[in-house]
């Protein structure tokens, strides 16, 4: 019976099975049911065949694969192992065994099975692919890449190998390589939804918003109901300033999944960024109706309450977040900010036990490198007249006075550099007045300019990093804060903008 005949057999016999006296073509019936997704019907026939032929390795293998599809991994492993014992040189059975071990989270056994399969047939691209996937899940990334590249050397047009390599490269931040891999996969299978969606994310992360949008749109033409893709393209539209389209995308997700907590949070965030606080509050509250313990929804709602100076209500939300996650440095820091605002009022005496300083200290104890907490702690210490203690964290006037730029490597003089820097900054989209969209994947606008690879910004970042390292190294002997004893290699420079602004410096 050929493939077409088996297909017709499955269609004609979808409501009936062979009787207990199995015909000669029973296996063909079972395969037709199996390939047609009628797993229970196929299972019955496979089991009847094994009753009369317990050493039929082919059927043992098929039944094992079927059991794995049905979620019974233990039975699947037992059945396929029997098939392997009967035919130890069948690399296909070993691949199926490895796949089943992977499904059961037994990665060491899976890797061993794939390696045995490769020894039997070194030119099997699928075996190298499977090994690469298992090694990736095990966290052995370089060996995984080597296995996948071996698979490509055998079959350069294997779409799944290209996809898998692209995913690894994207995880590593090697976006150019990831994009090349996804494009190759799409050239092989043009309607590859997963490749198009992943390509959209890679372009987005690289800052190529138009290309990202195009990839997501092509993916949505294949699957218009993909809520993940709709969510991702919404972010792409938003960063291009097309806020109305972004809103429509987030709303489409809610229409598809009315109970989606994340969809309501995303739309609440978008509305909050546009200062539409009333509408944003409603979406955050709707998210909390779906999940009363949603930390992101509570944090978003608390942020708006802070903007409305409803600090007491914001404090309650931050305290609830901390009860849910006592290791959230950000929650303690935000609670400290809220309490600091309250402490400026006449209610400060009543709230002394929950002082802002204590919250910033807790945030720092959780994350010794949490610059935002250090910055606000310094300001809080200044509020209560503890200037000398604050100066153990920062003294921006001293910093700016001590480190004057007199020359910049790569420019003939400081005036030429400053002119190039001015031209760069005043043309940068994050500094446009009333910019419709703000970046939501790279942090604050102040920080975004420091993520560019433009030579003028690279030179500025280098000078600032060098000065900061030298300045903070001088704190090692006089400050007990762990930050100064284990300095990071790079800085999110906007983390100190809150300090600079409060001291009269322009933070952009």
- Domains of the chain as residue ranges with CATH: 309-393 (1.25.40.10), 396-502 (no CATH)
Rounded Cα gap, residues 121 and 98, in angstroms: 15
- Whether 198 and 169 have beta carbons less than 8 Å apart is answered as no
Rounded Cα gap, residues 161 and 144, in angstroms: 11
- Whether 330 and 367 have beta carbons less than 8 Å apart is answered as no
Q: Treating both helix axes as pointing N-terminal to C-terminal, what angle do 227-239 and 261-273 enclose, rounded to 10 degrees?
A: 10
Place of tokens 């090349």: 180
Rounded Cα gap, residues 265 and 272, in angstroms: 10
| Cα angle value 114/120/123 (rounded, 5°) | 85
Provide the sign of the torsion angle of the four alpha carbons 484, 485, 491, 492, taken in this order: negative
Helices (H), 259-370: 261-273, 277-290, 295-307, 311-324, 329-343, 356-366
- Whether 459 and 408 have beta carbons less than 8 Å apart is answered as yes
Non-local CB neighbours of 421 within 8 Å, separated by 6+ positions = 456, 460
Rounded Cα gap, residues 385 and 110, in angstroms: 63
What is the pTM assigned to this prediction? 0.72
Q: What is the DSSP letter of 353?
A: G
Write the burial class of residue 124 (CB in 10 Å: 0-12 exposed, 13-18 middle, 19+ buried): buried
Q: What is the DSSP letter of 345?
A: S
pLDDT string in tens for the chain (508-residue length): 445 544 554 444 444 444 456 777 889 889 999 999 999 999 999 999 999 899 999 999 999 999 999 999 999 999 999 999 999 999 999 999 999 999 999 999 999 999 999 999 999 999 999 999 999 999 999 999 999 999 999 999 999 999 999 999 999 989 999 999 999 999 999 999 999 999 999 999 988 999 999 999 999 999 999 999 999 999 999 888 898 999 999 999 999 999 999 999 999 999 998 889 999 999 999 999 999 999 999 999 999 999 999 999 999 999 999 999 999 999 999 999 999 888 766 444 444 445 788 898 898 889 887 878 888 888 888 777 777 777 777 776 777 777 788 888 889 999 999 999 888 777 665 444 444 344 333 333 444 556 666 788 888 888 887 887 787 777 777 666 776 667 666 555 543 444 444 444 433 3
Helices (H), 384-444: 387-390, 396-402, 414-426
Tokens (6 digits) for 204: 């987005």
């Amino acid at each position: 019976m050929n493939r077409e005949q088996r297909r017709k057999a499955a269609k004609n016999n979808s409501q009936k099975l062979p009787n207990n006296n199995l015909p000669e073509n029973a296996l063909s019936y079972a395969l037709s049911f199996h390939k047609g997704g009628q797993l229970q019907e196929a299972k019955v026939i496979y089991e009847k065949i094994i009753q009369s032929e317990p050493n039929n390795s082919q059927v043992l293998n098929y039944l094992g694969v079927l059991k794995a599809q049905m979620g019974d991994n233990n039975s699947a492993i037992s059945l396929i192992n029997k098939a392997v014992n009967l035919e130890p040189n069948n690399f296909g059975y070993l691949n199926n065994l490895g796949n089943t071990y992977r499904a059961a989270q037994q990665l060491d056994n899976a890797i061993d099975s794939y390696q045995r399969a490769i020894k039997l047939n070194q030119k099997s691209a699928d075996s190298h692919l499977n090994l690469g996937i298992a090694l990736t899940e095990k966290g052995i990334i370089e060996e995984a890449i080597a296995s996948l590249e071996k698979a490509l050397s055998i079959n350069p047009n294997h779409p799944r190998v290209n996809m898998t390599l692209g995913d690894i490269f994207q995880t590593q931040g090697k976006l150019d390589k990831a994009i090349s891999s996804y494009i190759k996969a799409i050239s092989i299978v043009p309607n590859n939804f997963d490749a198009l969606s992943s390509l959209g994310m890679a372009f987005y992360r690289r800052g190529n918003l138009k290309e990202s949008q195009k990839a997501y749109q092509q993916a949505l033409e294949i699957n218009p109901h993909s809520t993940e893709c709709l969510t991702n393209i919404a972010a792409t539209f938003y960063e291009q300033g097309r806020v109305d389209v972004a809103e429509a995308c987030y709303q489409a997700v809610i229409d598809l999944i009315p109970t989606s907590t994340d969809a309501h949070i995303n739309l609440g965030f978008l509305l909050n960024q546009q200062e539409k606080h009333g509408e944003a509050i409603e979406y955050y509250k709707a998210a909390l109706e779906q999940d009363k313990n949603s930390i992101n929804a509570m944090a978003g709602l608390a942020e708006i309450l802070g903007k409305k100076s409803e600090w007491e209500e914001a404090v309650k939300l931050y305290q609830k977040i901390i009860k849910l996650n006592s290791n959230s440095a950000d929650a303690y820091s935000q609670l400290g900010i809220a309490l600091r605002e309250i402490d400026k009022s006449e209610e400060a005496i009543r709230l002394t036990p929950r002082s802002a300083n204590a919250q910033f200290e807790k945030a720092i104890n959780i994350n010794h490198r949490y610059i935002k907490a250090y910055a606000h702690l310094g300001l809080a210490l200044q509020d209560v007249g503890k200037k000398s203690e604050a100066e153990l964290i920062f003294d921006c006037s001293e910093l700016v006075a001590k480190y004057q730029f007199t020359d910049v490597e790569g420019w003939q003089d400081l005036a030429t550099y400053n002119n190039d820097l001015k031209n760069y900054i005043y043309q940068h989209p994050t500094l446009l007045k009333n910019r419709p969209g703000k970046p939501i994947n790279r942090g604050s606008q102040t920080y975004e300019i420091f993520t560019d690879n433009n030579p003028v910004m690279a030179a500025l970042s280098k000078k600032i990093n060098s000065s900061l390292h030298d300045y903070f190294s001088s704190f090692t002997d006089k400050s007990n804060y762990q930050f100064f004893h284990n300095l990071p290699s790079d800085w999110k420079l906007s983390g100190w903008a809150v300090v600079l602004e409060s001291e009269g410096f322009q933070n952009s």
